Amino acid sequence: MEIDIKDKTSFFKAQIQESLRTVLDPELDVNIIDLGLVYGIDVNEATKTITVTMTLSSQFCPMGDAILHSVENCLEHFHPSYIPKVELTWEPRWSYENLTEEGVKQLGRR
């Protein structure tokens, strides 16, 4: 994530992104950031909400609910003064091109 000095929440969004690295896809044992499942992070200071827009590797992901709950739990743990919201989207569809370099390395070790 790039820091935008014009966005007052940019540094905080980067911190949120780093905290989300603790959320693993239990089947792949790779975090959701390096899998490229997180499409956006929005912080609303007025309502004290953090909204994470994300997808799953498949609409039929058997661990989907667990991953979404883990995201909420992560946000509550690391950023307790904010209300977590997770928005699940299927557009754009996830693909292996979403993986970060680190994600590719981690999957290659399996």
Report the predicted TM-score, pTM, of the whole model to 2 decimal places. 0.90
> CATH number, domain at 44?
3.30.300.130
64: in domain: yes
105: in domain: no
* pLDDT reading at 10 higher than 80: yes
5: in domain: no
pLDDT at 79: 97
Split into its structural domains, the chain has a count of 1
78: in domain: yes
63: in domain: yes
pLDDT at 29: 92
For residues 7 and 95, which has the higher predicted lDDT (pLDDT)? 95
27: in domain: yes
Long-range contacts of 15-19 (CB under 8 A, 24+ apart): 15/78, 16/41, 16/43, 16/50, 16/52, 16/75, 16/78, 16/79, 17/41, 19/74, 19/75, 19/77, 19/78, 19/79
* pLDDT reading at 110 higher than 90: no
The whole domain housing 37 covers: 10-92
pLDDT at 108: 84
100: in domain: no
pLDDT at 4: 62
